[in-house]
Amino acid sequence: SLGMLPSASIGESGPGVFEPCHGSAPDIAGEDKANPLAMILSAAMMLRYDLSRSDDALILEEAVEAVLDQGLRTPDIKQEGDGCKLVGCTEMGKAVADVVAAMEDKSEISV
């Protein structure tokens, strides 16, 4: 699904441009159907390749993997009979944010 594909345009000098492969998905704007994971993964690429913050990029990548492992799916990746829960853009984004927050809380406790 295009909703899962991050992208980047990185030059030799200056900042890169990081965005989902699917763009802004104007055909489903305002319908809470877009998959936010490509944008989140694009942000992870920005952290890793433009800002040299690989540890933070890994947190985002692991959070995306965790919500997919929890069985959450937006309409573009939901398959009939897969046993996964259909969610919208808002709920998927909140689920990733919640995982990131939990990871941060866990790291603060272990330090």
More confident: 70 or 105: 70
CA distance 98 to 59: 12
CA distance 63 to 68: 9
pLDDT per position as a tens digit, 10-60 = 888 878 999 988 777 788 889 999 999 999 999 999 999 999 999 999 999
pLDDT per position as a tens digit, 76-93 = 999 999 999 999 999 999
Q: Supply the pTM of this predicted model.
A: 0.88
